[in-house]
Structure 1
């Protein structure tokens, strides 16, 4: 069992706050993703769990035991970094085996454990090669195997896919997903890529400037973003957000009129997902504007218009044809709209 508790954990450097009041329990065998832009505190949080950074405030517990004063080697965690950090003079077999030698594991166990770990990441035919003879994806798999061979209580993964090209990222992501199911080990995974977060996580923690914005399942965060920051960070494309005014239950801004809303009068930000709206015939929709850009995605056509300085996108059928500058009308059903307070950005009604 490896439940991790972060009790009001914080990290400061002088007056700069890197992580503020992080309070969360990570369940045994849970796959938790820390998601946010560069500088939001996600890697710092992971490094505090690993013991590579000292927490300025709060307590970190692993299996109910406070580990704040324990050395990294005594916390029974294995880390996979963005850089592969392989030993260039050792072949793949020896790179994977190295943690066993360092930790004093009985030599007669080494071969079986190395081969079991390499089989999990499909490296059996590369065990004799040096890192220089491997592709980026293969090197990252060696780093994964080196973490697996330790059989730790906790896996910590810091942007492990960011150095890979798009195709390798997809296949390695699938491998990590399968491994997490097979190994059933508590995993904390740091990324700025919301697709990785949505596909891998049991729960996602969205962070901004050291502060947790929302914690929930990928579905919760996608369907019910807590504020405009989460709405703008999750989704591909991100949620459309339009600043305007509600009067008598009708939201208005340039090119936009959406009646039937249950909301107080005043300034408001209205959001909706590109796939939830549609093209309306004869300019009868709630948004009517000239086309700013068209993108063919293969399975759909993404149409964007400009509304009060913001780009608003809707997914149309792949057969949709038009030119930039043509007028287009979007139908935006009231029940798919999200409302956020204009000043704070918080979701209306919590």
Structure 2
């Protein structure tokens, strides 16, 4: 069992706090993603779990054992980094095999374990090549195979796809997802890419300035963001967020008036997803000049200025409009989210 428990985990450098009193339990065999912008503390959290950074305060438990004082090699973890860290003088077979030699695994087991790992990442035809003869995606698969061959209790993956181009990221992401299902090993994955988080994770942990903002499944975080930071970080495009006043169930702001909103009177931030609104011929809740139009193939994204923000809506793929031309957007009250204007926290409503 490789349940991981973080208790009041904190990392400080002088007066700067990189991670602040993090409490989190990662279930055995769970695929957990730490997500957030650069400098939010996600990589520092992973490095403390790995033993590459010493915690200033708090406890790290892996499989019920406190590991704070253990060296990285004694924590039974395997890491996959942004940089592939392959040995250029070794071929693919020897790169994958290397962890077995270091850990003194009986030589009789090496070939079977190397071949199994190579098959899992589709590298069997490249075993005699050296890293310099491989593409970026192939080198990342070698790094994955080298982690798999160890058969660890925990995988730690730190931005493993960030050096790949867009097409390779998609295919390698699918491979990691399939491997996670097949291997059933507790995995912590660090990324700043919310698409990776949403597609890979059992649960997502969103961090900001060393503090956890929300923990939940991708669906929970997408459908019920805890605050405006999460709402503005998750989704492609991110949730539209408009500032305005709510009075008697009517939200009003720059170029916007939406009736039927259930919430307390006063200053609020109203949010909605681009795919939940629609362009209409007349009677829209948002009426404004078109700021821009983007053709995406399967849809057309239309943006306007409303509620002090740039607001986007997803229209039909054949929809066309000139920049500057007036557009009307319908925003159903039932799909709107409300947030406190001062702190940005979600306002829960009865209906």
| TM-score category, normalised to shorter length | over 0.9
Q: Which residue of the partner structure matches residue 179 of structure 1?
A: 179
Distance in 2, matches of 1:315 and 1:74, equals 51
TM-score, structure 1 normalization: 0.99
1:170-225 Cα deviation digits (max 9, x unpaired): 00000000000000000000000000000000000000000000000000000000
The corresponding residue for 1:297 is: 296
Number of the residue aligned with 2:47: 47
- CA drift of 1:263 comes to 1.4
**Structure 2 counterpart SS, 1:10:** strand
Matching residue of 1:319:
318
The TM-score with structure 2 as length reference comes to: 0.99
Matched position secondary structure for 1:49? helix
Q: CA deviation at 1:309?
A: 3.8
Give the whole-Å Cα distance in 2 for the aligned partners of 1:33 and 1:307. 33
- Deviating more after overlay: 263-272 vs 224-233: 263-272
Q: Is 1:20 aligned with 2:20?
A: yes
Q: CA deviation at 1:349?
A: 2.3
Structure 1 spans left out of the alignment, 5+ residues: none
Counterpart residue number, 1:161: 161
User: How far is the alpha carbon of 1:264 from its aligned partner?
Assistant: 1.5
In structure 2, C-alpha distance between the alignment counterparts of 1:275 and 1:35, rounded to whole Å: 23
Q: Distance in 1 between matches of 2:303 and 2:14?
A: 45
- Aligned pairs for 1:240-319 (under 5 A) are 240-282=240-282, 284-319=283-318
Residue 308 of structure 1: how far off its partner (Å)? 4.2
**Cα distance between partner residues in 1 of 2:130 and 2:214:** 43
Preserved contact between residue 256 and residue 307 of structure 2 (Cα < 8 Å): no
Alignment of 1:88 onto 2:119: no
> Aligned equivalents of 1:254 and 1:288: distance in 2?
9
CA deviations on 1:78-108 (whole Å, 9 max, x unpaired) are: 0000000000000000000000000000011
**Alignment partner of 1:142 is 2:142:** yes
- Spell out structure 1 runs of 4+ moving beyond 4 A: none
- Per-residue CA distance 1:108-146 (angstroms, 9 max, x = gap): 110110010000000001000010000000000000000
Secondary structure in 1 matching 2:263: coil
1:245 shift after superposition: 1.0
Residue aligning to 2:193:
193
Shift of 1:25: 0.6
Contact kept, 8 Å, 2:243 with 2:308, in 1: the verdict is no
Root-mean-square deviation (Å): 0.8
What is the CA–CA distance in structure 1 between the aligned matches of 2:97 and 2:9, rounded to whole Å? 34
Partner of 1:311, secondary structure, is strand
CA distance in 1, matches of 2:315, 2:178: 33
How many Å separate the matches in 1 of 2:292 and 2:262?
A: 32
Correspondence list, 1:46-65, <5 A:
46-65=46-65
Q: Report how far residue 315 of structure 1 moved.
A: 0.2
Structure 2: gaps of 5 or more residues: none
Separation (CA, whole Å) in 1 of partners of 2:75 and 2:64? 12
Structure 2 residue 18 is the aligned partner of structure 1 residue 37: no
| Aligned mates of 1:174, 1:264 — CA distance in 2 | 44
Q: What are the superposed Cα offsets for residues 33-85 of structure 1, whole Å, 9 maximum, x if unpaired?
A: 00000000000000000000011111000010000000000000000000000
For residues 304-347 of structure 1, give each alpha carbon's deviation from its aligned partner in whole angstroms, at most 9, with x where no partner exists: 00124411000000011111111110000000000000010000
Say whether the 8 Å CA contact 2:213–2:230 is kept in structure 1: yes
Kindly indicate whether residue 243 of structure 2 is the aligned counterpart of residue 208 of structure 1: no
